[in-house]
Structure 1
Amino acid sequence: MKKTFTINISGTIFHIEEDAYEVLQKYLINLKNHFGVDEEGKEIIADIEARIAEIFSSKSTDEKKVITVEWVNDMIEIMGTPEDFAEEEGEEDVSIASEAKRKRRLYRDPDHRVLGGVCGGLGAYFNMDPVILRIILVVLFFVTSGAAGLAYIILWIAVPKAVNTAQRLEMRGQEATVKNIEKSIKEEVKEVKESYKKFKESDTYSKGKKSMEGAGDVVYNIFKVILKVFVIVFGVFLIISGFFGILGLASSMIIGHSFVEGMPLIWGPEIHVPNMLNHFIEPGAVTWGLILVGLITGLPLLALVYIGTKLVFRYKSNNAIVALSMAGVWLVSLFALLILSVGQVGNYKQSSSITKSETISCDSCQTLYLRVADDKLDDYAEIDWDVEGFKVAVIDGEEVVVGYPQLDVIRSSGDDFVVTVRYSSRGKTRDNAKQWCEEMVYTYERTDSTLYFDPYFFIGDEAKWRGQEVDIKVRVPEGKAVFLGSDMDEIIHDIENVSNTWDGDMVGKYWEMKPEGLTEKTIE
């Protein structure tokens, strides 16, 4: 009984007896020591291993697959050892005639190919110049009306390509021994080196190298000029944007609007910053808020100017100190503004409301007509910022905050029409929120069976905006109706009805309160 190993030779798995493994390992180590570890030596070893795998594969059968020491010795006798072909100093190369010959095998020659290497392989197989075979192929192509071309394609597909050195030797009828593999690879390497040397020494190489270097210098200089121009233009753009942005910010903070408004690429909208903040923030916090907002917004604009001047004038400065100083001031300002904002948010913490009701006494009124009163603010200036739920108008030089009421129509529990107005607001405390509710002003007028609702409500002369709302409920008794004027779509909000009609489509129509709900009334 002998111990066996599993080995991989050139991608093929073999089983080998222990004594045969030792002989094979010693042989391969001897080859590696002889050929060295450079790229040429590695290529020789790889081709030798491929030939060894081919020899062992030819010996393997279904009955016997394990490599024995006899197989290894036979392989060494075929391949030879470095000692067998080591050249003595001054001795000429052994001629090909003294080399062992083997039967030729047809391969496609990739080293002498025009298309697929078929003619090159046939030339090596028949020991002929492949040029003669190519001429014969062209002549046959015309004589056989293209049949020769089809035969070439079939050979291209069927005949394998000589990939490694052992196959190229076999293609020429030379035994794939260690010596022949080494000699073939060295000749290929020598041929490549000589071709490269001739190419480097040629006029074409010198001229091409000079042309490439000259073209590279031209492209580099052009790119360098374009980059410099782009940097300067970009720097000028940053300077202009930052400078006018600072002017717009300063004028908005101090004057109340930007005098550079409308100029292209410039930050400067008409935002009326001081007056706007006065409607939300306590008076003592407005000044600090403006300073902090100015620093948070102005420092980045100042940084644009600084970066732009650096790009245009290319002066040297201590960038780290300047950048860290600006970043430090910006972060402190942001932190302080957050603290200030949190304190102001507390003004919206609690909520309160006041409700006022009025019964519309009219026994003979079966229909109540609802309309929107004339806009009393038409003759007064309106500031162009309009936030959802409220807007600011200028009356007699004073800014007044007004809000938009919302009206709904619901069922009445009694026999009379009832108008309920609910005032709601938020504040720091409930009492504070209630105080804001009491300062709110909203009016509507009655003429016979018609009610005229104002389109706005006032939050009060000295009041701050705390989310004030006015909700109007018109309560309709069962069996009676309301008529929604065409302008009521300004204030009505989500009126429930039997047909689920959208608010905008309810105006200009009569609606009767029935047991099932508000129903459109048909007028005959």
Structure 2
Amino acid sequence: MNKTVNINLANMLFHIDEKAYNKLQRYLDSIRRSFAGTAGSDEIIADIEARVAELFHEKMENERQVITSKEVDEVINIMGQPEDYMVDEDIFEDEPKAKTSDTTGRVKKLYRDIDHKYIGGVCAGLEHYLGFDALWIRIIFLLLGVFTGFGFIAYILLWILVPEAATTSQKLDMTGKPINISNIERKVKEGFDDVTEKVKNVDYDGMGNKVKSSSKTFFDTIGDIILFLFKVFGKFIGIILIITGAATLIGLFVGLLTVGTLDWVQFPWMDDFIVNSTNSPIWLVSLLTFFAVGIPFFFLLYLGLKILITNLKSIGNIAKFSLLGLWLISIIALIVMGVREAAAHAYTGSVTTKNELHISNPDTLNISLASSDLWDARGNVRMNDMIMVYDEDGEKILISNDVRFRIKKSNDSLIHIEVRKEANGSSIQDARGKATKIEYKYVVEGNTLVLNDFLTVHDGTRFSDQEVRINLFVPKNMVIDFEESRNCRWSTNNDKNIGRCDVDEYTWKMGNDGELKCQDCPEEIEQSWNDDDDENRIRINGQGIDININDNGNGESFKMKINEDGVKIKAKDNDEDKVDINIDSDDGKFEMKIEEDGVTTKKTIAKD
């Protein structure tokens, strides 16, 4: 069992066992004795202690780790013994000494060299980092600044973001020299004796590397410039990453945390539309989304900082793996919620009711559409065809205008109305259960049928693609008169091929063949389906697609129309052979008629 003590070395706290502490104490005392009476000895000792503390910190795996004699021996081996160095003034002569420290593989760090600065020391620091003269760097910054403006911006950013080399250790890091007793002593004495110019090109490499030459060939200089531009481009990429990451994190915090999690701004409808069927609270979804999106952008921000500042302190493996685990958990949770939400709409179920209608005048049926006053209420929230409002009692009501009407021929002399309610659910039973909760109303007043153009859900059922389809069966020869509303909800089979948006402008009569016959339509509104229509055209607009191609020379023609009512195709060749295809979009009815060599073949397929 070893006794441990706490020490404060260069303002850093360490736990060290007693044996290692005594060895370290003897080592530092010997260094103090070696530099006693030397100019700048206090600064030399302080820098040596700071370097020793830095080495200890690099070797520690956690804050509670105890430093042993092994770590002390490793640090002493790196720093060297005082007697290994000549501490008198002759170490600053021009000739390098036989005993030097190895600098091979030493990674330089970017600092601003304030000792040789003109403005902020950026170019002087880049000279050490990139390895070529600061004059070229200053010229490049100046040219980029004059012609593009980027040079001034880049210089200011580097001036702000790159730290200055203030301590002796930082100055040695800047030049790539090892931070040991010898180099710390040299650097301090350089400042005291003002002999920087005399020793700046001396390389104290233990392997006896050659003295650095200040002369370079033209092609070496061009290569250095290209390398420098690549590094500047890398720094620019780092700035872009920082801006992107920071902006995204701020936006996520404001958009998700403040609204969804902290509930600073309340939107009661969010639980009904955003997390519709999973019953997950909005704050949980917001938090998971923040982690799932924000963590990658945080690492993007961190990468940009690492590119821009090479000596940026690492956040540590514990933080990295913790964030990675949190991100994976968020992604998995969101995927599970998404699958549950998709499963909640996997099936479509419907319930159908059919009733007879009795009107005062059996010859004429007036049809009117009624709208909801709540549809335009203040504070409602819309999602596709559905809105959510609150009634006077504070009850939540879902209102949708996903209601469509179709007029068909009745098989008897009575008027029938068929109401089909549809909804989505996780199963057929669940979907039908939601469909039964849909409320739809209509009323007969005299010979007028008033139909709601909306549906409602009152019992708290959430958005499940609820819709209503109305089939109105009218006996033959009955006149139908609409209250004009310009409501594109009517699907009919009529003799004028008028689209659903224009049906309610005219009066109709049910024909024996189930086709509505227009009673007051002008001739010019007839659609271009007659064989004598020679207009060649292709029309694509909000009403659909209308194509008509005629060749008057040989009698060939092709016509196609696609709209909300379905698809109609007519074709004729020069032998008077014809093909007519009609596909109804509402009831799925498929009709095909072929006239070939005087023989007519007709086939009809219907879903209902």
Whose helix proportion is higher, 1 or 2?
1
TM-score, normalising length: structure 1: 0.49
TM-score, normalising length: structure 2: 0.43
Whose strand proportion is higher, 1 or 2?
2
Q: Which has the larger radius of gyration?
A: 1
